Amino acid sequence: MWTYYNLFQPVLRQEEKTIERPEGGDVIIHRHRDSAQTPWERLCRTEALPLQARTRLADLYARTNPRTLKRSIQEHLDALLSTCP
């Protein structure tokens, strides 16, 4: 599941949150989010990752089929849940 969620599952990150309290009204919350990106894409944009780790993750990304991986995860979860009473 780590591979799927970190390499292929896009995430929206909250950039800003503003709260308005108009007089006599309800609280209004505005959330501003950035564009959806996978954790892998966000990590590639930084220089925090050493070259060796970046190369290893890039190879894993290139070798992995997200559709097959998701199907495999679902099959394992179904098998696990079928053992519960």
Tell me the pTM: 0.71
* Residue 44 burial (C-beta neighbours within 10 Å; 0-12, 13-18, 19+): middle
Quick one: pLDDT at residue 22?
A: 85
> Any idea where the domains of the chain sit in the sequence?
2-82
Quick one: pLDDT at residue 77?
A: 93
Tokens of 75: 């099959």
- What backbone phi and psi angles, to 5 degrees, belong to 18? -120, 140
In this structure, are residues 26 and 43 in contact, taking their beta carbons and an 8 Å threshold? no
Cα 83 to chain centroid distance, Å, stands at 29
16 contact partners, CB below 8 Å, separation of at least 6 = 31, 32
Quick one: pLDDT at residue 44?
A: 87
Tens of pLDDT, residue by residue, the chain (85 residues):
999 999 999 999 999 999 988 888 888 899 999 999 999 999 888 888 888 999 999 999 999 999 999 999 999 999 999 998 7
